[in-house]
Chains A and B, each alone.
Chain A
Amino acid sequence: MSNYDITRIRSDFPILKREVNGKPLVYLDNGATTQKPKQVIDAIDHYYADMNSNVHRGVHYLSQISTDAFEVTRQKVKDFIHAAQLHEVIITSGTTHGINLIATCFGQAFIHEGDEIIISAMEHHSNIVPWQMLCDFKGAVLRVIPMDEHGELDQAAYANLFNERTKLVSFTYVSNALGTINPVKQMIATAHQHNVPVVLDAAQAVQHIKIDVQDLDVDFMVFSGHKMYGPTGVGVLYGKEALLNALPPYQGGGDMIKEVTFAKTTYNELPFKFEAGTPNIEAGICLAFAIDYINEIGVENIKAYEDELFDYAHSRLREIPNIRFIGTAEKRSSVISFLIEGTHPYDVGVILDKLGIAVRTGHHCAQPVMDQFGIPGTIRASLALYNTKEDIDALVSGLQRAANMLL
């Protein structure tokens, strides 16, 4: 890509200059968390040095400017995902928080004994366990969309899972363990044919794929700041206004109320109804800088660059004898999961670490996926906008070295 200034981009990320175990850092664990550009790091510094104050409370100057800055993030998120209304954007602490919020509140209002909730076979534990907890509590039933040997969901089986007891569907946009991009627009339409709302886990998607919640017609969507170059401890729950209004509040506390007496409390309006207590203010404010950073480069440009790198990584990794790719779906994004036959992912991960290469090994919080493939885990290289062909070359030679030692 000619107009993609990778040198400048890399210089924005201070951590990429450091060494690990005496070797230049090769960071390929972006699916777990991305590194932060100096624009975000400086903003965090600036927040504490210059504007620290609680939000939505004080009439004093600092409270005003931090509240304004916090609300700027909401506006930027709204534009970033093309939400229809500002108050449809709830600031959470992350994806897990968002899913638990929906499971709890939607569960309280709409799930009864014998009702069914559909998830998919490729979900992260955070999109399985909250629904299991809800099902246990309510006596509801969890149904699972099956997945084939390529890591693609069985769409015919999905359509057949619906019945009059189906109340909610929740699935991921991009699989964190396999990289599969699900045909979410079509899957949402299928659910809507049965008048069932959909929760979309976009934690592995927003940083790679342009998302328009109105075009997708998705009912709820969740993602995390720290996987999109932003701070840890902030995330987003998008929900359609009518649905959010129909839900009871999540946690009770400050900020989420209109009036409190010991006889009765009336709740605040959206989005504050779901934002009890003091939020992670600096993370909330600084997420805006991460969104600016992504927008400046452009999500489409990022995707094109990452796709090219993804293809390069595949062709180079094929050079390694005994490599077995886990997840071979036709449409994939930024995640490459594999094994070297005859070695354990943990051993490979330990040796790569010694070479300054950060990958993730293990089950990636998706044990059912590993069970389906009959493996203990995989080695996962996950790409971000600052990775280079040199990173891939380092990974390939590291893997060759690991294979030599272990086999």
Chain B
Amino acid sequence: MTINETQDELIEDFSFYEDWMEKYEYIIQLGKELPLIEEQYKQEQYIIKGCQSRVWLHPEFKDDKIYFTADSDAIITKGLVSLMVKVLSGHTPKEIAESDLYFVNQIGLQEHLSPTRANGLLSMIKQMKLYAIAYLNK
């Protein structure tokens, strides 16, 4: 599935939820299901510090593609992290670097990407793209 196909699928998934409660319950569920990052990667080097919550992100380069694993200490952030991982992981550096994450707006979660939230999510997306650009230039 392409990055945009995954995004479109998520947009459709979320369209079933009528109110914020259901939407957040789903995100919390996703957060609880996110495969944890391996403990060895949960260290300073892979941490993305937000003012409010922290995110760990580990990239692995395999067969010309980047695979991300990630975690967060806050469950809603973790749910959102899992959405980002779902959309971007397993794609080529070029695809990741050039991606436009329009699904965030469409499912009404853009507030979590606001710098004032300081939850580490915005920095995580930036970091994912930076990894992609770094591999692109190798």
On A, residues with C-beta under 8 Å from B are 21, 343-347, 349-351, 354, 361-363, 376-377, 405-406
Question: Do A406 and B28 form a contact, CB below 8 Å, given A344-B74, A362-B118?
Answer: yes
Q: Is the C-beta of B119 less than 8 angstroms from some C-beta in chain A?
A: yes
Query: CB distance B28 to A362 under 8 Å?
Result: no
Residue of A nearest to B119 (CB): A346
User: Considering the complex, which residues of chain B in the window 43-78 have a beta carbon less than 8 Å from any beta carbon of chain A?
Assistant: 51-54, 73-77
Question: Inside 8 A of A362's CB, which chain B residues have their CB?
Answer: 51-52, 118
On B, residues with C-beta under 8 Å from A are 20-21, 24-25, 28, 51-54, 73-77, 112, 118-119
Most buried by A among B51, B53, B73: B53
A346-B52 Cα distance, complex, nearest whole Å: 6
A225-B77 Cα distance, complex, nearest whole Å: 34
Q: Which of B24, B51, B74, B76 contacts A363 (CB 8 A)?
A: B51
Please list 28 pairs of residues, one from A and one from B, whose beta carbons are closer than 8 Å in the complex, sorted by A's number: A21-B20, A344-B53, A344-B73, A344-B77, A345-B52, A345-B74, A346-B53, A346-B74, A346-B76, A347-B28, A347-B74, A347-B75, A350-B76, A350-B112, A354-B20, A354-B21, A354-B24, A362-B51, A362-B52, A362-B118, A363-B51, A376-B53, A376-B73, A405-B21, A405-B25, A405-B28, A406-B28, A406-B75
Question: Inside 8 A of A376's CB, which chain B residues have their CB?
Answer: 53-54, 73
Question: Do A351 and B24 form a contact, CB below 8 Å, given A346-B76, A346-B119?
Answer: yes
A354-B52 Cα distance, complex, nearest whole Å: 17
Residue of A nearest to B76 (CB): A347
Closest 9 CB pairs of A and B: A344-B74, A346-B74, A346-B53, A346-B52, A347-B76, A362-B52, A347-B74, A354-B20, A347-B75
A98-B20 Cα distance, complex, nearest whole Å: 43
Question: Inside 8 A of A347's CB, which chain B residues have their CB?
Answer: 28, 74-77
Nearest CB in chain A: distance from B81 CB, A: 12
Question: Inside 8 A of B28's CB, which chain A residues have their CB?
Answer: 347, 405-406
A346-B51 Cα distance, complex, nearest whole Å: 10
Nearest CB in chain B: distance from A176 CB, A: 15
Nearest CB in chain A: distance from B59 CB, A: 24
A361-B53 Cα distance, complex, nearest whole Å: 10
Nearest CB in chain A: distance from B117 CB, A: 8
Question: Inside 8 A of B51's CB, which chain A residues have their CB?
Answer: 362-363
A354-B76 Cα distance, complex, nearest whole Å: 13
Nearest CB in chain A: distance from B123 CB, A: 14
Sample of 18 further A-B pairs with CB below 8 A, known A376-B53, A405-B25: A344-B74, A344-B77, A345-B74, A346-B76, A346-B119, A347-B28, A347-B75, A349-B52, A350-B24, A350-B76, A354-B20, A354-B21, A354-B24, A362-B51, A362-B52, A376-B54, A405-B21, A405-B24
Query: CB distance B118 to A344 under 8 Å?
Result: no
Question: Inside 8 A of A405's CB, which chain B residues have their CB?
Answer: 21, 24-25, 28
Question: Inside 8 A of B118's CB, which chain A residues have their CB?
Answer: 362
Most buried by B among A347, A376, A377, A406: A347
A350-B121 Cα distance, complex, nearest whole Å: 14
Nearest CB in chain B: distance from A287 CB, A: 26
Nearest CB in chain B: distance from A15 CB, A: 18
Q: Which of B52, B75, B112 contacts A361 (CB 8 A)?
A: B52
Nearest CB in chain A: distance from B1 CB, A: 29
Residue of A nearest to B120 (CB): A346
A345-B50 Cα distance, complex, nearest whole Å: 13
A406-B25 Cα distance, complex, nearest whole Å: 8
A362-B20 Cα distance, complex, nearest whole Å: 23
A320-B53 Cα distance, complex, nearest whole Å: 23
A344-B76 Cα distance, complex, nearest whole Å: 9
Query: CB distance A344 to B20 under 8 Å?
Result: no
Nearest CB in chain B: distance from A347 CB, A: 5
A347-B72 Cα distance, complex, nearest whole Å: 11
A361-B50 Cα distance, complex, nearest whole Å: 12
A344-B120 Cα distance, complex, nearest whole Å: 14
Query: CB distance A346 to B77 under 8 Å?
Result: yes
Question: Inside 8 A of A354's CB, which chain B residues have their CB?
Answer: 20-21, 24
Question: Inside 8 A of A344's CB, which chain B residues have their CB?
Answer: 53, 73-75, 77
